[in-house]
Copies of this chain bind each other. A is one copy, B any other.
Amino acid sequence: MIVVLKQNPNAEQLESLIAWLKEKGISIHTSAGENHTILGLVGDTSQLDMDLIAALDIVEDVKRIQEPFKNANRKFHPADSEIPVGNTQIGGDTLTIMAGPCSVESEAQIVGIAKAVKASGATMLRGGAFKPRTSPYSFQGLGERGLEFLKVARQETGLPIVTELMDLSQLPLFKDVDVIQIGARNMQNFDLLKAVGHQEKPVMIKRGMAATYEEWLMSAEYVMSGGNENVILCERGIRTFETYTRNTLDLSCIPVLRRLTHLPIVIDPSHATGKSWLVEPMACGAVATGADGVLIEVHNDPAHALCDGPQSLKPEEFDRVAAKLLKIHETVKAL
């Protein structure tokens, strides 16, 4: 950490800062320039509160050198994480394809879609039982009953299931789920993150619409600091000035996260773009860029889906897209 002092800092306050830092086991290197004196803090600065230091009258600016996350940091965990899920895994050489409807609507619907996507190459089934909806007047999901239908679909197909947890009070209902999804709007619901950090199921954290890479990784850190190392990161578009697409899919997150963290990275082109005709090209781009997996909405009747129909593929479209993704994945892995 670098502390830039104001010109002519009060000597007493400076001494007191230095004493306080030394007490915390930090050693200090001073560079006195014409306009600024700079303190280089050496030691475990992840415990220091940058804001606290920045608030001092004698300090002009504080800059962090070390990332504030540890468990998620590739520097301290150089190998890629591979997270076992049922009969498959996320990360490593496999291309994970999570597919299914936005909402579970009935047993017949989810079992039908599960069979179709499995036949096309999906490795996991996704479907929402508890649905975060912007409007209180929109369909809110089947809830517990939806979870039951998902389990039936798993039994019929063997596909592990991934589904969203919206509130920690629902956690007991999720003990049979394979991967717990934390939605974008809950990415900084810290009580929820703590709760899923104190259980063992894999947790897939969707990026908040306005979350920086660092904030996203800090949310992973919340889960991991509770003892649960099975975290997957899922990009679903960020909010920008461009409104033609629902959000802007940020594929650069793939190589950036690859460098910063060892956790696997999944891309959700369906929610990011909000338009089914954009799913195929963006999924292809995601795989070629190096994603560990994609999450694709598939619905047998998108026009009558109870939520997010416009971004769903029909099973026959998904069949073509999945084949294409596997081919691109194979090509890229071979290069």
Contact = CB atoms under 8 A, between A and B. Distances in A.
* Secondary structure of the A contact surface, majority rule: mixed
A203 to B, nearest CB: 14
B188 A222 contact: no
A238 B243 contact: no
Contact of A303 (B32, B56, B249, B323): B56
Report the copy number of this chain in the oligomer: 4
A248 B245 contact: no
A169 B168 contact: yes
Given A40-B33, A168-B169, A288-B284, A218 B134 contact: yes
Contact of A252 (B168, B210, B249, B256): B249
Interface in A234-278: 238-245, 248-252, 254-256, 259, 272-273, 276-278
Contacts of A242: 212-213, 238, 250
16 contacts: A38-B65, A47-B137, A51-B307, A68-B137, A132-B190, A134-B218, A135-B221, A136-B190, A136-B225, A169-B169, A238-B248, A241-B243, A248-B250, A248-B252, A284-B332, A288-B289
A88 interface: no
Given A65-B61, A132-B188, A241 B284 contact: no
Contacts of A22: none
Contacts of A63: 2, 63
A121 interface: no
A145 B288 CA distance: 40
Given A34-B43, A38-B65, A241-B241, 5 more contacts: A132-B190, A134-B215, A166-B190, A238-B241, A252-B273
